[in-house]
Amino acid sequence: SRSINLAVIPGDGIGQEVVAQGLKVLNAVLPQDVKLETKEYDFGARRYHATGETLTDADLADLKKHDAILLGAIGDPSVPSGVLERGFLLKLRFAFDHHVNLRPSKLLPGVATPLAGQPEIDFVVVREGTEGPYTGNGGTIRQGTEHEVATEVSVNTAFGVERVVRDAFARAQARPRKKLALIHKNNVLAFAGHLWTNVFNKVAAEFPDVTTEYMHVDAATIYLVTQPERFDVIVTDNLFGDIITDLAAAVSGGIGVAASGNINPARAFPSMFEPVHGSAPDIAGQGKADPTATVLSVALLLRHLGYDAEAARVEEAVSTDLGARGTTVRSTDEIGDALAVRVAG
Ligand code: IPM
Ligand code: MN
């Protein structure tokens, strides 16, 4: 019989509340014969204050035993900025080789967008997740003086670029419109830009049915607002991807519905699924958080593990729920319950 061995990291703030709804929906959608085993981990601010630890080698060894990880949100104002980001989130992405950071943007019916009209938005960003300026390469000299010099080196390897570009081409090929845009800044970042463009063009030859385009990242921010319907799949580096996916979330319904997957496509390590939003300490514990982004992250998790029909049912339930929402204000729990009923029915 089939089974899913899931590591659950609720984390801080609203992470606790939204993850509970994600699990509720996951339990409701899985067929009877699939055995779901979960193990909860207490990473985040509380653990950091209690032990000074963010994520140890022993933690990584333990997490590695699972098929996938569901994460709520990590972060709290009581922890200095950067400590949990680097010590937990980025550490995990790098340790588990999450080189595909998948961030779909779909404007669902009934969801407000700040854009004029009601554009058709349905694209997915494949953000590189283990290289670029996120590698922590760089340094500073004469720190704190008027002559300080700080460098932050973007690392791009042929291996790392090719595997993410290949993944993006395959995803584009599997979608009806079969379009792929490379977003970079190759007019200025000449070395990395050359590598990305070269690899992109080389791999493109193997996917003749995929229509490609290149766009500078600054121009892309304009088109994401003025013509978001033009995008199908986007592939880009770690930092550009970080920035444009926040913009993408803003135009396609906000962070309340933005889901993401930190994926190791070969499944050498467990992939991690998380809402794009943070821990929102200002509304934590009040039942106000929208669990939709977490539930949509559960759909990505299901698809990654090969449960395509179940993933589709979750997305369908979210779409119907959003369409029927109107102006009703519901609690985190009520939204989770409604979605659980819909996926089961
Ligand atoms: C994200 C976040 C992280 C990132 C931070 C918290 C390190 O902004 O998941 O997009 O920059 O990747
Ligand atoms: Mn971000």
pLDDT at 255: 87
What is the DSSP secondary-structure string of 98-154? Answer: --EEEEEEE--TT---SSSS----EEEEEEE-SSEEEEEEEEEESTTSTT-EEEEEE
Report helix, strand or coil for 79.
Answer: coil
Burial of 31 (0-12, 13-18, 19+ CB in 10 A): exposed
- The domain covering 113-252 belongs, at the CATH homologous superfamily level, to Isopropylmalate Dehydrogenase (3.40.718.10)
Evaluate whether 1-111+258-345 and 113-252 have a shared fold. Answer: yes
- Express each pLDDT in 203-240 by its tens digit: 999 999 999 999 999 999 999 999 999 999 999 999 99
196 phi and psi angles, rounded to 5 deg: -60, -45
d(CA 36, CA 28): 11
CA of 233 to the centre of ligand 1 (A): 20
Nearest to 273 by CA among 4, 19, 83: 19
Q: Which residue has the higher pLDDT, 198 or 117?
A: 198
Nearest to 71 by CA among 43, 94, 50, 99: 43
CA distance readout (Å), 341 to 21, 313, 318: 12, 11, 11
Burial 133-170 (b: 16+ CB within 10 A, else e): bbbeeeeeeeeeeeeeeeeeebbbeeebbbbbbbbbbb
Compute the average pLDDT of residues 312-326.
94
Does the CA dihedral 272-277-282-286 come out positive or negative? Answer: negative
As a 3-state breakdown, the chain gives helix, strand, coil percent values, each rounded to 5, of 45, 25, 35
Domain ranges of the chain: 1-111+258-345, 113-252
Structure tokens at 182: 């490379």
Q: Judge if the beta carbon of residue 333 lies within 6 A of ligand 1.
A: no
User: Is residue 308 part of an annotated ligand binding site?
Assistant: no
The answer, yes or no, to whether residue 328 has pLDDT greater than 90, is no
Report helix, strand or coil for 39.
Answer: strand
Q: Judge if the beta carbon of residue 337 lies within 6 A of ligand 1.
A: no
101 phi and psi angles, rounded to 5 deg: -100, 105
d(CA 126, CA 103): 7
Q: Given the CA of residue 242, which atom of ligand 1 is nearest to it?
A: 10
Structure tokens at 111: 């969801």
C-alpha torsion angle, residues 81, 84, 87, 90 (rounded to 10): -100
- Express each pLDDT in 68-113 by its tens digit: 999 999 999 999 999 999 999 999 999 999 999 999 999 998 899 9
Count the neighbouring beta carbons within 10 Å of the beta carbon of residue 51. 10
Nearest to 128 by CA among 183, 61, 174: 183
pLDDT at 327: 83
**∠ CA 101-102-106 to the nearest 5 degrees?**
150
Q: Given the CA of residue 93, which atom of ligand 1 is nearest to it?
A: 12
Q: Which CATH architecture has domain 1-111+258-345?
A: 3-Layer(aba) Sandwich (3.40)
d(CA 279, CA 19): 11
d(CA 173, CA 265): 16
Q: Judge if the beta carbon of residue 25 lies within 6 A of ligand 1.
A: no
Q: Which ligand is nearest to the CA of 73?
A: 1
Ligand 1 mutation target, pool 242, 274, 277, most atoms within 8 A of CB: 242
| Residues facing residue 8 across a β-bridge | 40, 70
**Which strand ranges, in their side-by-side order, compose the sheet holding 100-106?**
35-40, 3-11, 68-73, 271-275, 259-263, 100-106, 122-128, 233-236, 179-184, 211-216
What does pTM read for this prediction?
0.96
Whether ipTM > 0.95 holds is yes
Compute the average pLDDT of residues 259-270.
97
Q: What percent of the chain has pLDDT over 70?
A: 100
